[in-house]
């Protein structure tokens, strides 16, 4: 079965970096894009962007360019989200999610979420 | 960017009654070449990741109870829960996947009256 398992919670100080991992299994990793979605405490869902796992080409939503970086390690079927120069407002749960089907870009499989807390 | 606006922000419905959530997009998400609306509905319970309920605006995902249904086309969409169950208490989101960024609505919190 399709599974996306994310790394655990992280507590970081402002200005530091964090790398969230999303390890996948149960399907061919390079066949489906991986989306990243942010949810600040008590807030709604915000699409951060997605990465084409076949080409490695990322697409970032406005507001997530520059400090947010998607990457892949196809040898271990894992996607990564790195956030540099962390700010307090980056505190949120970050989800990775896979398209439901090849023909359906709606994220149908989700990781459990990774809480990133930025505090001095 | 396509802006997704849901209404209402919150809703309380009695058990067994109908719940209706609306979603409007700032531009059409209907792709004319295949006549499909690139609109999904998600349920998020506290402490859980979102769960896809409906895609193509009206296609129920496998395993989703048939009390959940989606309708609408173009810019106006509706999620209906025909007979509310206790486990349906959650926040519901619509999302367009017509063009990037794949924007979400602000969410609708559904409670029991």
Put simply, the chain B residues between 14 and 73 with a CB less than 8 A from any chain A CB are 38, 40, 42, 44, 49-52, 55-56, 61
pLDDT for A16-44, tens place per residue? 999 999 999 999 999 999 999 999 999 99
Residue ranges of chain A whose pLDDT lies below 50 = none
pLDDT for B17-66, tens place per residue? 999 999 999 999 999 999 999 999 999 999 999 999 999 999 999 999 99
Closest listed residue to residue B2, CA positions, set B49, B39, B52: B39
Express as a percent the part of chain B with pLDDT over 70: 100
Contact (CB<8Å) A105/B52: no
**Tokens 């173009």 identify what position?**
B74
Cβ-Cβ contacts under 8 Å, A111 against chain B: 49
CA dihedral A62, B26, B21, B106 (to 10 degrees): 20
Strands B4-7 and A104-110, sheet pairing: unpaired
pLDDT band of residue B111 (cuts 50, 70, 90) is very high
Residue A18 φ then ψ, to 5°: -140, 145
Identify the DSSP state of B97.
-
Separation CA A52–CA B20 (nearest Å): 35
């Amino acid at each position: 079965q399709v599974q996306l398992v994310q790394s655990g919670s992280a507590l970081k100080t402002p200005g530091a970096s964090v790398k969230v991992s999303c390890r996948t299994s149960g399907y061919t990793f390079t066949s489906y894009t991986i989306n990243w979605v942010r949810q600040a405490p008590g807030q709604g869902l915000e699409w951060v962007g997605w990465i084409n796992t076949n080409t490695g080409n990322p697409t970032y939503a406005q507001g997530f360019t520059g400090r947010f970086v998607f990457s892949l390690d196809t040898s271990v079927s894992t996607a990564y989200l790195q956030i540099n120069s962390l700010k307090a407002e980056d505190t949120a749960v970050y989800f990775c999610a896979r398209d439901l089907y090849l023909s359906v870009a709606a994220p149908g499989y989700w990781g459990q979420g990774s809480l990133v807390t930025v505090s001095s | 960017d396509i802006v997704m606006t849901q209404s209402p922000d919150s809703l309380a419905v009695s058990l067994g009654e109908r719940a209706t959530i609306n979603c409007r997009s700032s531009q059409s998400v209907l792709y004319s070449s295949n006549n499909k609306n690139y609109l999904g509905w998600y349920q998020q319970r506290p402490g859980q990741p979102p769960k896809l309920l409906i895609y193509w605006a009206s296609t129920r995902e496998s395993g989703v109870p048939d009390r959940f249904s989606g309708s609408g086309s173009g810019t106006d969409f509706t999620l209906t829960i025909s007979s509310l169950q206790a486990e349906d208490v959650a926040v519901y989101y619509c999302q367009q996947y017509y063009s990037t960024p794949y924007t979400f609505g602000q969410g609708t919190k559904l409670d029991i009256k």
